Structure 1
Amino acid sequence: MTSRHLILGGCGFIGRHVANRLALNGDTVTLVDRNAPAFILPSEASTRVNWRQAELDAPNWDDLVAQADVVHHYAWDSIPASANKDPGGDLSRNVRPTINLLDALVRRGSGTLIFASSGGTVYGNILQLPISEDHAIRPVTAYGTGKATAELYLQLYRQMHGVDCRIARIANPYGAGQNVARGLGAVTTFIDKALKNEPISIFGDGEVVRDYIHISDVAICLAEIAKAPISDEYIFNVGSGLGTSLNQLVEHLEAGIGRRITVQRLVGRSFDVSANVLSVERIKRVYGWSPRLTLREGMRLTLSNLAEGREFPDSY
């Protein structure tokens, strides 16, 4: 059975890959973004995808949600650095529009909302690895606090109004087409620097550990979450379940490009959590999902896609 999907932030990295996956499944998709698409979807998907221009803080929510069975909320008007500089603005530009969206879904009386949270920032300093969804939320950045606050409102509206809200705490996605300028994603940043023969900057000793997942695996997972029936379990980590240090990341990249990379060591940053690795046992149990690509395989695919000038893999 096909369905109609509305993707906020649909022209972003996650949004366009989820759109491609859904369209290949036969669904119809509307991308909502302030910017027109700057990418070309594969021909077999493009006929089922359209675009509407809207700002996150001033759309006609009732009109938008009326056109969809599932709303995907992947729009977020900040990154960790900008959120820390202006926490109040981050709250106003991101959390308030999320509440307005929830109110529109209450007025509609039906529909599913998928929210892309941040598995890398909402947990904060970790008590136990890998991190399960039951771990306390203790963000140490304004960005993580904003995401956690939005999560709490989704849970509130689920309890108070019965809105079918589902939360995906995504690890560190990477892949061809990710916007390097936004400063998100060590894998993408390292690859970009290496291909330009520029030194890679690492803060501290390089032993900071993170969970990296290829965008194609993220897209498959989010499409599965969107398709699933309503469940009492609705918060899911989306990651690889494995940790990789920055030093190991450099080693994987050197193996992929076949040469050594210059690394510039900088003073460590106080806000960098030492380790963040997500447990994916819950989503494996509930939906049967697990990532297909190892980090080494995903990096090889990314390098291949970049060399061929392609963003979307042949298949998901």
Structure 2
Amino acid sequence: MNASTDHPPASPARRLRVLVACPPGDHSDAAYTGAAWIARTTDTDIRVAVAFARPWPSLAAAKLQGSYDSWRDGEAAKAKGRVLAALRRAGVSAGCLNHTPVVFCDGPAAAPLITQEATEFRADLILLGPEGSAKKGRFSASTTADALLHTSPAALGLVPRKAKLSKKGVTRLTLAVTSPEEFDPETLSRATAIAQAARLPLRIIAVTPQGLTGPTEGDVPPQLQDAISHGWREHTLAFLDRLSDTVFDTAPGIQCTTGIGAGHGFSGALESVSWKKGDLLVVGSTPTGAFERVFIGSVASEILKTSPVPVLVLPAGGA
């Protein structure tokens, strides 16, 4: 994502370009609610991509081109009406929308269609709602979302089902760190840039799903358990201190705090941390090569499933 001088994460030259991705029959307002939340945070240029995955081969559609085009035009018109109504319900004003607020695209698979639309739109952020079976307050990835979590060239915003969001927009960024040894410094740089541009506080939390000592086998003396716990905590706090020092060195005016989330499973670890309605959790991607893209591993995937707040997944790689 890019950063603006006053808000995250647009560039000074233009508004934040947000592509809201939704399937044709999506009746969830989560992604639209997320778009309204972002629009209360920064100047936006919002477009909705309705991606229809054709269940039949392209050759079959070609043979019935006239009938297919007529059907497609009808579906596109209905989709535009539904989308604009959903945006109004969510509180997205007309001034936050792109001059082409809705596009209807179709092809063999939805994820490549969304990626293409994001590239053509030069989207800074792709917003995704949860699949229909998601629990209230949680995000569950659909097949399309799962594909984008491993291929998207732009940052992804994941909005939980029926999320309770601040009327003031995003009020704090929380960067999750799961492994000091595997942490990508570029993720901290990007999160810091967004927080600085938005004048938002940045919180960095170390998340461990196994408590402070991790699982142990056999009878471990309490004294040894305490020593392991103390050592882990001291090591983690020292790492967090180094990260906060880096933030203060690169962005002296930023408010940066640190903390530890520890519990049974990632759900317990995240629940041990206090959350506000204006929190946006930031997760980095696993670097996979020279191309900038989103790619999450198994650990990040668990965080996405259990996060009680919207998640921003930053891409990794690139020049």
Return the TM-score normalized by structure 1: 0.28
Q: Per chain length, whose mean CA-contact separation is higher, i.e. which structure has more relative contact order (CA < 8 Å, sep 6+)? A: 2
Return the TM-score normalized by structure 2: 0.28
